[in-house]
Amino acid sequence: MNVISNNNIKCTIALAALENVVDPEIGLNVVDLGLIYVVNFDEANKKINAAMTLTTQFCPMGESIIAAVKRVLENTFAGEEVLLELIFDPPWTNERISEEGKQFLNR
């Protein structure tokens, strides 16, 4: 999984939770789709600094997907503030889809 993090254990928990957030059009979750770029944990300040992208900057479902990612992180790590950044550099490409994701789309 091509996700940057400073805490592998907590990142695994975060990504497992984020597998429940599905792109409604594609039917694939945001983790296997490769939309999550960064999940860093600021233990001292109880903050999660995350960065994600969308398949296109003009995705009509974008706001819903972002809101879901933020809400899932907040629910999974109760008491920690989630700072979610939406970035398009580097842009999302098909290459970011995981092997599981490719298998799902190839069904």
Partner 1 sequence: MLAGLNKDTLVKSTTHKVVLPFYLYAAISLLAATVMLCFSAEAFTRHYFHPHILAVTHIMALGWGTMMILGASHQLVPVLIEHSLYSNKLAYTSFLLAATGIPLLAYGFYVFDMGWPAKWGGRLILLSILSYVINLLISISKSNGKNVHAIFILTASIWLFLTAFLGLALVYNFTFPYLPKETLQYLPLHAHAGVVGWFLLLVMGVGSRLIPMFLISKYSNKYLLWVIYVLVNGGLLSFLGLFLYFPGSTYHLFPVLTVLIAFVLFGHYCLRSYNLRIRRQVDEQMKISLLSVLLMLLPFVFLVSITGWLLSDKLNTQLVLIYGFIIFFGWITLIIFGMTFKTLPFIIWNKVYHAKAGLGKTPNPKNLFNNRVFIIMTMSYLAGFILFITGIYLADVFVLTFAAVILIVAALLYNWNVFKVMLHKAKIK
Binding site for partner 1 (CB under 8 A): 20-21, 24-27, 49, 54-72, 75, 81-88, 94, 97, 102, 105-107
Do residues 31 and 73 lie in contact, with contact meaning Cβ atoms separated by under 8 Å?
Answer: no
- Supply the DSSP symbol for 98: -
CB of 16 to partner 1, least distance (A): 14
As given in the structure block, the two tokens for residue 76 are: 């999974």
Nearer to partner 1, 6 or 56 (CB): 56
Nearer to partner 1, 13 or 59 (CB): 59
Radius of gyration of the chain (CA): 13
Nearer to partner 1, 31 or 65 (CB): 65
CB of 75 to partner 1, least distance (A): 7
40 burial level (CB within 10 Å; 0-12, 13-18, 19+): middle
